[in-house]
Structure 1
Amino acid sequence: MSDVSQRLQAALSQLLQGHDVGEPVLNAGASEADFIQLEQLTQTRLPEDFKAVYRVFNGQAEVDVYVLDGEEWLSLARMAEEWEVWKDLLDNGTFSDGGKAFSSDAETGIKPVWWSDKWLPFTYDGAGNHLCLDLDPTDEGTYGQVIRMWHDDAERSVEASSFAAWLGDYVTALESGQYVYSDDYGGIVNSDDIIDEDDD
């Protein structure tokens, strides 16, 4: 088991201790056939750092708790489902008007499109928004960088240079106590968000 995967499992176990969330929270690792199936569907090459983690944990199980900052951690099968939703919208011309493609307000390193079929969602917040692997960045970007995309907002931001970097930062934040489990929010969320909600 990779170090970051081990640390993730330990941090989640501690945060979820005493809460009836169902077991197991995380899926067993994906197989090489699983990776090939997703790569063939999306016509992409999955980054090795991403595959290293998914060989240990293939996203989260179907339990009533979101483990990635209030978002579902998608299995490879769920990634395919969400990708196909977006691909259908793209193919149907949803992101264009009169043949002119919609553009996004993309940070440096991200192509300024509304959605690219080389963006693979690995989280889902239940409202159509995702963190994605960007497998078609600009020359200023990095293959496999993590980007945030919104279904109803043009903002597109780079969250980390790689999946490993993003997950490592998240696990460190879990270990430092920045995140807590909340029944009201249905999962593990930033403690500052809960405090801000209470203050409002």
Structure 2
Amino acid sequence: MQEYWIRWETWMRQHAPKLLNILNPGVTYEAVESLEKLIDSPLPADFKAFYAVHDGQRKARTGLVDGDLLLSVEDIADNWHYWQDLLDAGTFTYNDHPIASEPDTGIRSSWWNPLWIPITSDGFGNHLCLDLDPAPEGHHGQIIALWHDDNHREIVASSFREWISGYIDAIERGDYVFVKKWGIVHKGTSFNYND
């Protein structure tokens, strides 16, 4: 997985060298083990290998993933706790019945599932998640999009490797640009590029 970081960092050096300063050092084995104990599930090997190089990014106003933050393992745990607290409080039930989402085939119809592990954040409760509890038609470790105020759940990629490979390919192809105020964003996004 180091090859993806090498390619991503090469792009950053050419287009946005200051982004290199917000990368965290690699995650420790103990931190990964702690997260796996918290979620009560092993994490995919590709995810762990990727995070061994850089533990996501520091909290900043600029995001590395289409304007969103690439969460550190500590921030993943914090976001997971936030969703788990909402689940424990009964937020995702109405008249004692679970509130269902409208998922793509392969995703369970929960509003949120404790085995949906947030890996990115836009700061407003929306995430890309590792799905460690897919529906029978899905793939363990698939990447799904979760919106806090929209009931659609979308499969973005069938694995962490497929997702990061596709994202780095798109960056290198020029589908994404660096915008100082937002970070790396899709070229077609309606952000004001002069901000």
Which category describes the TM-score, using the shorter chain as reference length? over 0.9
- Distance in 2 (alpha carbons) for counterparts of 1:29 and 1:39: 17
State the match for 1:65 in structure 2: 62
State yes or no: 1:189 paired with 2:185.
yes
Q: Determine if the alignment matches structure 1 residue 87 to structure 2 residue 84.
A: yes
Q: Distance in 1 between matches of 2:173 and 2:19?
A: 25
Contact 1:49/1:163 (8 A) holds in 2: yes
Corresponding residue of 1:164: 161
In 1, distance between residues paired with 2:172 and 2:32? 29
Taking only the aligned residue pairs, the percentage that are identical comes to: 40
Residue 114 of structure 2 corresponds to residue 128 of structure 1? no
The DSSP-based 3-state class of the residue aligned with 1:156 is strand
Matches within 5 A, 1:29-178: 29-178=26-175
SS of the residue 2:177 aligns to: strand
Q: How many Å separate the matches in 1 of 2:60 and 2:14?
A: 17
**Larger mean Cα displacement after TM superposition, 175-184 or 144-153:** 175-184
Q: CA RMSD in A?
A: 1.6
TM norm structure 2: 0.94
Instruction: Using the TM superposition, give the Cα deviation of residue 13 of structure 1 relative to its aligned residue in structure 2, in angstroms.
Output: 2.4
CA distance in 1, matches of 2:132, 2:54: 21
Compute the TM-score of the two structures, normalised by the length of structure 1: 0.92
Aligned length: 193
Using the alignment, how far apart are the partners of 2:142 and 2:159 within structure 1?
Answer: 4
Report if the CA contact (8 A) 2:9-2:20 is conserved: no
For residues 185 and 19 of structure 2, the distance between their equivalents in structure 1, rounded to whole angstroms, comes to 18
Gaps of 5+ in 2: none
8 A Cα contact 1:67 1:187, kept in partner = yes
